[in-house]
Structure 1
């Protein structure tokens, strides 16, 4: 046996993990879930760093401490497997970054990493502003709309045009928002079901296969509509690595499609839900909303091209996005123990199921005063969401940390500011409660809002198109 660092493993010693409070005899911890999964995760987050949950014969180890999360996801990653993540995503994304392991995973990351470099993202920053502004011009004012659906349309458009540098018609964008991106909502259930579950001919499985087939057709057509740029966009990098004429192929053409689908499904929904929750919170926090409007005006209502350093002009908007990512992260990251291991002084047996409780870690009152309150000003002016660790893990950490984190951290503030330069959003029914729903991402159950023109602000002029590189 080898250790997580590659040397000879020592026999782990340590304490048994304590049982979480709220155990009710034969019912186990089912009563803890009476208000839903997310409230239970928040409650666990303010308790023990590691605790056992029992549901009949099933035991889950819940990690609700940032330092222990680092051990599981980064420091001792070789002791943990990702079989439930793979089971959840593979029926949709195939052999993409979310489902690959070991050498194949590292190779795909090496291929794609240049697309997320500082220089590459700076080049597409003006294009991000252009795409978001064009969307803002198309959005109808005065009509109640599903904000999560609309943000999916915007996010899919941004992914295709900015990350892939490809073109796509708005009808296909609408289909992606309505059918493709929501595919990830079945992933959490597939993670928790037995391995044969996804193969059953249930209505959900049949519908998923039909949508996935169409999605593969859409992804396969993207190279034909590719706009040549600097050669460091996701599509260019994948195509180059799969081209035998330019050397030995590092990946297959099927792998190109799998990776495009991975970004279309996972990246699009994550960004869309971040934007949707941002509108929800800003509508309830007038001071923060006004600050975002002011930054949007200064950047987008002046008729000038968006600078490559646009993020430097959006400090409050960026902190608002950071706060949304804190409040509404990926709820849990599942892992399975490959061999007995010790984390934080506790022993985890081989085969144990582990849930890294990001939702609870992000709402731990020991780290965040008034943890359930939206407060962008809790972050310092120079805070960088990609540099924080332990108590803030919206993009996970370790070898499987979200490769698109720099892109997500760029497009969300810019898109939010571009839309805020034109209108404000208000709940269509102020008395309707919006609930957070757990899935691969934390999403609103239904967020219906109305876009209205801001008093004293005319329709913004379209920014000048970015210079092609």
Structure 2
């Protein structure tokens, strides 16, 4: 009888704990399932060739060092094969460096998500066209595409020409046959162009190169790259308590402050213009030509769609400035470098310019730019050898098979553009600068994803026509006025693989006036 009572007491005590046992069992099963899935992901990634990784930190030490070391080490990863892998802490990366492998990602409508690395840009760009994904990206892309119509871009040629005239005057003062770093001059010109076309505001960077805004734009790009390859700085809580984090936040404050001020000013100006237009007779506007900045177009959209907020406008203006400033700066500098190291090719470009302009100092027209066929070939080849954006990173949200390797969901996929453009199967003698590679008869034989300086597929660069037009105007004007010479041999040029591909020691050139 006593034993029965004890058993009843035990059951009475145990019955309230039954839900707890069920909960613990469920949690244990979930943990085991997660661990199994994690182990399976690790196993799949480890089937891909790559450098040996250490526990917890992965290959972080492999990439330890400055931007030059980082760039070299990433290139070494591609030597493991067209599909290779590395780890940053617990995060796996898959590196693609062949046209066939790259096509699997760039041509896909499913793998459009940028990797977590791009979240480091969120404080600057928010969720603009570069960093957004899913339905937000689709709606933004659809909204912004008309803003890059060629007829709209034609109106910007006056800005390109005006700012290039200022650049040429500055270069002429330095063109005494001695080498100087052209990179800084080109940077300021590109910044002036992008601010005037994006915001409709002159920042006069070429006159005031020490301005807080100019410095903030330059510093922020370097800080983001510095943080990207140091996993311990990824958490905001840690980063913001470092000197780098405090400098980063100060740069953001400066850039956003100017952009917000400009948005407010342009809104007021648009209201004043509409009010004045109501009082003005229609014939008073006859013959006047107005040029809308990118910001004006966004403000016009917001006036017709109340869901577009000031924050949305800020995101896209900053995105356009980021994407259109550093990239074109780097591209134009690399073009001038290859002209300075390939004198016979530079001569052919200048002969074409002389034939089109007949010695005139007049500004370039759209018709002139269309005639510069050989300059365009050289520009394309320069973008092949020195792509301004050396890597593109996506995150696959579902498993994908590339070259017989299974890439698990959650893996960051790096498209190594610099290495891709040096694939000898697609570009024989890849280290040779040969503009004829881009003659139609040669392009037709090439894989469509072998050359992607502006990315490709659904997420290709929306501003590539803008960039090409700007570069043609600026570079044609420089070569109309100067003979370019570089003393740095091709094989000795050292590069920084930051967000943008830059020469490590700048771009020292000798300029010789042609007139």
User: What is the TM-score with the length of structure 2 in the denominator?
Assistant: 0.74
What residue in structure 2 maps to residue 61 of structure 1? 94
User: d(CA) in 2 for partners of 1:404 and 1:65?
Assistant: 25
Q: Structure 2: which 5+ residue stretches go unaligned?
A: 1-43, 274-288
User: d(CA) in 1 for partners of 2:401 and 2:423?
Assistant: 23
- Write the mapping of 1:117-136 to structure 2, written as runs, cut at 5 A: 117-136=149-168
Change (3 A) 1:432 1:192: closer
What residue in structure 1 maps to residue 188 of structure 2? 153
RMSD: 3.6
Offset of residue 304 of structure 1: 3.4
Given candidates 243, 258, 272, the residue that maps to 1:203 is 243
- Write the mapping of 1:391-410 to structure 2, written as runs, cut at 5 A: 391-410=450-469
SS of the equivalent of 1:356 reads strand
SS of the equivalent of 1:302 reads coil
Given candidates 60, 84, 102, the residue that maps to 2:116 is 84
Given candidates 280, 285, 298, the residue that maps to 1:238 is 298
What residue in structure 1 maps to residue 33 of structure 2? none
Per-residue displacement from partner, 1:389-419 (whole Å, max 9, x unpaired)? 3101111123332211111122112211111
Offset of residue 334 of structure 1: 1.9
Contact 2:421–2:451 at 8 Å: present in 1 too? Answer: yes
Given candidates 249, 263, 271, the residue that maps to 2:306 is 249
Offset of residue 437 of structure 1: 0.8
Offset of residue 147 of structure 1: 2.1
What residue in structure 1 maps to residue 505 of structure 2? 446
- Write the mapping of 1:20-99 to structure 2, written as runs, cut at 5 A: 20=49, 23=52, 36-42=69-75, 45=78, 48-53=81-86, 59-78=92-111, 81-99=113-131
Offset of residue 433 of structure 1: 4.5
User: Which of 286-295 and 267-276 deviates more?
Assistant: 286-295
What residue in structure 2 maps to residue 273 of structure 1? 330
Offset of residue 167 of structure 1: 3.1
Per-residue displacement from partner, 1:178-205 (whole Å, max 9, x unpaired)? 4314522333344444441574322222
Q: Structure 1: which 5+ residue stretches go unaligned?
A: 1-14, 459-469
Contact 1:82–1:335 at 8 Å: present in 2 too? Answer: yes
SS of the equivalent of 1:395 reads coil
Offset of residue 25 of structure 1: 8.9
User: d(CA) in 1 for partners of 2:82 and 2:474?
Assistant: 36
What residue in structure 2 maps to residue 106 of structure 1? 138
Contact 1:71–1:343 at 8 Å: present in 2 too? Answer: yes
- Write the mapping of 1:382-421 to structure 2, written as runs, cut at 5 A: 389-421=448-480
User: Which of 330-339 and 401-410 deviates more?
Assistant: 330-339
User: What is the TM-score with the length of structure 1 in the denominator?
Assistant: 0.81
SS of the equivalent of 1:279 reads helix
The number of equivalent residue pairs is 438
Change (3 A) 1:163 1:180: same
Contact 2:216–2:252 at 8 Å: present in 1 too? Answer: no
Contact 2:51–2:77 at 8 Å: present in 1 too? Answer: no
Contact 1:147–1:448 at 8 Å: present in 2 too? Answer: yes
